[in-house]
């Protein structure tokens, strides 16, 4: 099947300086957590996207010199010949499928701590980035760059650009965004200089101009030269002769780069979670750029709808449809549109687990796409599956995220699959969670899988089918997956920072109680030591229903772990909007039905809140009773033809959706392959002896 003609515009080539992108699908630079320590993992990850139809596939940030050292966060480098060879692997994998390879050369300036190199960070005026995220904090303040420092940084950019061309890259970036060095020169908050690089916008743009010019002189005959720039803060600044400083900066540089890659200034706004940011949220900031320059423009907006993509182009907002997260969730998104298979797109849910992976310092993960990062390590392809190795019939007990993923992948391998769900609908925990504020997009997890399963002749789906041990033993299935989920408990939290005891008394609820339709009586306290979205979302939901709500946590922020997913600032804004009182660093102690006692986790100072109900979002434990009962009768397995019984998803270990989906996927990939849980270990390229960075 071919694409609808209205999408033909998406497949038009776009000239970028001396090179031409084969279509308008552009995987913009994004972190992958795959450094030179994992060159084969990285090459396979990027190559899959080219195979899936992305016309341009980019690296994440690639350091030009040890003075741009982001450790312990994973970052890539182009410092020497070994780095060049490592990146060549990615270029080869990208070129194999006809796409262009782009490299985002990067100097972090004052936003990096140089923990490994121990070089004082570079900055225009010695102004540090005072991060509130512990992972970004450091105590080495930046140096004020002199003219030789400026010359050095430009020379390092040129040297890295030449290595990039040698590696095979087709597009070379200058990075002037997200708080990094080029950006610091552009903004007067960072740039207090009184020489030709400071003061007026014309002066402040000089450093970026010189980076572009030097890069074009070095590689511009063969490589497109792109400028990636953040415009959010600049657009908010007035200009004497332009609509804003953003307009002025773009006007001053309009014809220099071969491509404009436009974005926001901070990760929470640039990569906004779907809970707080809709598709296309960047447009009000970047919509003017094409009016100021004749060069092609690429931007992002978590685009998953081909109609939205076409609209961006036809309305003159963008020339190329940029994507980071959607290209992770479905590397084959362009190919599916081209082949008229839009209904098969595995749409990004905007949960930002991918971003949390980078903060964790590990290769990128994705809730929707369990194969991410495993393309080389486990030979998992997102669209190709090894055929079934037996005629075994697969029974999956539970139709939540893990069960649906396990069933879908097993069926795609050719196994006969039965999914039995005790409730009236498939989806498990998502049936409740997608009703919470901002989380409806997460319904794509079950919508995608259920739609695919319903098309398959080798799948049987049964609702309102609660199976017991006798039922399973009589059903003639050889492989059993128990995907019965997990339950929230009423456990409290101790000063040792572990769950301890339970508050089992009237007026105390868990998220499971709310999912079952119970409504707490107000005023209500939400006590949260799960630290992810659940506690904050429930507090917001109850407040929206008109209840008086307080929120307490032993952590220092509401929904503390959401700093990893870019949501934390917006969680606090939402709770403030609905007048939820926040109490941090608190242990929940007594509750007598009308008053709850909180004690500061550090000082033990007590505080009392007048509440009639408490909702505890804390410890989750597996619902594994069925599994344990099955094992107690394992002597009957052989006569029933059962070869294996396994727990998957939350029934094995309670976790985020990404863990449940991965667990279900791994179960199905490993059927009849007992050794496939292991993975290949990548190693760095070390063809050249260690030496000084040139």
Whether residue 135 has pLDDT greater than 70: yes
Whether residue 603 has pLDDT greater than 90: yes
Whether residue 223 has pLDDT greater than 60: yes
Q: Which sign, positive or negative, has the C-alpha torsion 239, 243, 246, 251?
A: negative
pLDDT of residue 167: 98
- pLDDT band at residue 616, thresholds of 50, 70 and 90? very high
For residues 569 and 271, give the distance between their C-alpha atoms in angstroms, rounded to a whole number: 13
For residues 24 and 687, give the distance between their C-alpha atoms in angstroms, rounded to a whole number: 37
- pLDDT band at residue 138, thresholds of 50, 70 and 90? confident
pLDDT of residue 619: 98
pLDDT per position as a tens digit, 424-465: 999 999 999 999 999 999 999 999 999 999 999 999 999 999
Segment 126-149 mean pLDDT: 90
pLDDT of residue 4: 74
Domain boundaries 489-621, corresponding CATH code: 3.50.50.60
Gyration radius (Cα) of the chain, Å: 27
pLDDT per position as a tens digit, 340-350: 999 999 999 99
Characterize the bridge pairing of strands 620-622 and 486-488: antiparallel
pLDDT of residue 3: 61
- Phi, psi angles (nearest 5°) of residue 213: -60, -45
Whether residue 1 has pLDDT greater than 60: no
Whether residue 675 has pLDDT greater than 90: no
Q: Which two tokens stand for residue 614?
A: 């408490």
- Intrachain domains 27-281 and 489-621 with the same fold: no
Fold of domain 393-485+623-669: Rossmann fold (3.40.50)
Segment 226-255 mean pLDDT: 97
Q: Which residues does the annotation mark as catalytic?
A: 180
Contact residues for 31 (Cβ-Cβ < 8 A; gap 6+): 60, 61, 74, 75, 355, 358, 364
HEC per residue, 51-110: HCCCCEEEEEEEECCCCCCCCCCCCEECCCHHHHHHHHHHHHHHHCCCCEEEEEEECCHH
What share of the chain has pLDDT > 70, as a percent?
99
Characterize the bridge pairing of strands 508-509 and 499-502: unpaired
Q: CB of 533 within 8 A of CB of 625?
A: no
Whether residue 403 has pLDDT greater than 90: yes
What share of the chain has pLDDT > 90, as a percent?
95
Instruction: Count the neighbouring beta carbons within 10 Å of the beta carbon of residue 98.
Output: 12
For residues 491 and 510, give the distance between their C-alpha atoms in angstroms, rounded to a whole number: 10
HEC per residue, 446-463: HHHHHHHHHCCCCEEEEC
Whether residue 271 has pLDDT greater than 60: yes
- pLDDT band at residue 693, thresholds of 50, 70 and 90? low
- pLDDT band at residue 132, thresholds of 50, 70 and 90? confident
Helix (H) or strand (E) holding 528: strand 524-528
For residues 58 and 106, give the distance between their C-alpha atoms in angstroms, rounded to a whole number: 13
Whether residue 371 has pLDDT greater than 70: yes
Whether residue 355 has pLDDT greater than 60: yes
Q: Which two tokens stand for residue 190?
A: 């960072």
pLDDT of residue 658: 98
Q: What is the mean pLDDT of the chain?
A: 96
Q: Can you give the length of the chain in residues?
A: 694
Q: Which two tokens stand for residue 447?
A: 């919508």
Q: CB of 220 within 8 A of CB of 16?
A: no
pLDDT of residue 656: 98
pLDDT of residue 690: 78
Could you tell me the residue ranges of all domains in the chain? 27-281, 393-485+623-669, 489-621
Q: CB of 425 within 8 A of CB of 467?
A: no
Kindly provide the b/e burial profile for residues 314-345, where b requires at least 16 CB atoms within 10 angstroms of the residue's own CB: eeebbbbbbbbbbbbbbbbbbbbbbeeebebb
For residues 536 and 542, give the distance between their C-alpha atoms in angstroms, rounded to a whole number: 10
- pLDDT band at residue 674, thresholds of 50, 70 and 90? confident
Nearest in space to 173 (alpha carbons), one of 63, 332, 45: 63
Segment 227-253 mean pLDDT: 97
C-alpha dihedral, 51 to 54 to 55 to 58, nearest 10°: -100
The domain defined by 27-281 carries CATH number 3.20.20.70: yes
- pLDDT band at residue 472, thresholds of 50, 70 and 90? very high
C-alpha dihedral, 380 to 385 to 390 to 396, nearest 10°: 80
């Amino acid at each position: 099947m071919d694409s609808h003609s209205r999408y033909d515009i998406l497949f038009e080539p776009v000239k970028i300086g001396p090179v031409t992108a084969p279509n308008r699908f552009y995987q913009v630079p994004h972190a992958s957590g795959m450094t030179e320590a994992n060159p084969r993992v990285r090459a396979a990850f990027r190559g899959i996207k080219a195979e899936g139809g992305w016309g341009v596939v980019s690296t994440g940030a690639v350091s030009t010199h040890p003075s741009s050292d982001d450790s312990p966060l994973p970052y890539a480098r182009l410092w020497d010949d070994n780095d060049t060879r490592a990146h060549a692997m990615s270029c080869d994998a990208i070129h194999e499928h006809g796409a262009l390879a782009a490299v985002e050369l990067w100097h972090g300036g004052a936003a990096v701590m140089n923990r490994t190199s121990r070089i004082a960070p570079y900055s225009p005026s010695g102004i540090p980035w005072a991060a509130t995220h512990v992972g970004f904090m450091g105590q080495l303040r930046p140096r004020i760059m002199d003219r030789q420092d400026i010359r050095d940084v430009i020379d390092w950019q040129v040297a890295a650009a030449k290595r990039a061309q040698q590696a095979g890259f087709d597009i070379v970036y200058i990075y002037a965004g997200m708080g990094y060095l080029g950006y610091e020169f552009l903004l007067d908050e960072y740039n207090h200089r009184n020489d030709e690089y400071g003061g007026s916008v014309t002066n402040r743009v000089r450093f970026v101009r010189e980076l572009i010019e030097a890069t074009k002189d070095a590689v511009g005959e063969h490589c497109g030269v792109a400028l990636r720039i953040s415009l959010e803060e600049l657009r908010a600044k007035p200009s004497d002769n332009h609509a804003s400083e953003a307009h002025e900066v773009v006007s001053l540089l309009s014809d220099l780069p071969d491509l404009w890659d436009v974005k926001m200034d901070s990760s929470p706004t640039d990569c906004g979670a779907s809970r707080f940011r809709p598709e296309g949220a960047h447009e009000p900031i970047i919509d003017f750029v094409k009016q100021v320059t004749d060069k092609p423009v690429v931007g992002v907006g978590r685009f998953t709808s081909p109609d939205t993509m076409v609209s961006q182009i036809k309305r003159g907002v963008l020339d190329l449809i940029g994507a980071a997260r959607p290209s992770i969730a479905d590397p084959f998104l362009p190919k599916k549109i081209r082949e008229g298979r839009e209904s098969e797109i595995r749409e990004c849910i905007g949960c930002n687990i991918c971003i949390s992976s980078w903060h964790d310092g590990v290769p990128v993960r994705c809730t929707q796409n369990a194969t991410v990062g495993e393309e080389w390590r486990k030979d998992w392809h997102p669209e190709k599956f090894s055929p079934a190795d037996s005629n075994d019939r697969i029974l999956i007990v539970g139709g939540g995220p893990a069960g649906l993923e396990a069933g879908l992948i097993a069926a795609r391998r050719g196994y006969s699959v039965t999914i039995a769900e005790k409730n009236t609908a498939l989806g498990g925990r998502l049936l409740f969670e997608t009703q919470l504020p901002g989380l409806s997009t997460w319904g794509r997890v079950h919508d995608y899988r259920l739609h695919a399963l319903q098309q398959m002749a080798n799948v049987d789906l049964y609702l309102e089918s609660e199976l017991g041990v006798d039922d399973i033993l009589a059903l003639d299935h050889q492989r059993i997956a128990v995907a019965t989920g997990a339950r929230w408990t009423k456990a409290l939290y101790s000063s040792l920072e572990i769950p301890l005891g339970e508050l089992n008394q009237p007026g105390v609820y868990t998220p499971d109680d709310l999912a079952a339709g119970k409504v707490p009586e107000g005023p209500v306290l939400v006590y949260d030591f799960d630290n992810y979205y659940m506690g904050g979302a429930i507090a917001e939901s109850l407040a929206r229903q008109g209840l008086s709500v307080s929120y307490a946590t032993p952590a220092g922020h509401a929904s503390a772990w959401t700093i990893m997913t870019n949501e934390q600032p917006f969680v606090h804004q939402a709770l403030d909007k609905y007048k939820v009182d926040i109490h941090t660093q608190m242990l929940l102690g007594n509750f007598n039905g009308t008053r709850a006692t909180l004690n500061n986790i550090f000082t033990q100072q007590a505080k009392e809140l007048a509440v009639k109900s408490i909702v505890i979002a804390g410890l989750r434990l597996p619902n594994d009773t069925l599994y344990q009962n099955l094992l107690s009768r394992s002597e009957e397995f052989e006569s029933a033809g059962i070869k294996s019984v396994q727990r998957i998803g939350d029934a094995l270990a309670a976790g985020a959706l990404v863990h449940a989906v991965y667990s279900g996927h791994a179960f199905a990939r490993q059927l009849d392959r007992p050794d496939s849980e292991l993975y290949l270990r990548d190693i760095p390229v070390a063809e050249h002896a260690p030496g000084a960075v040139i």
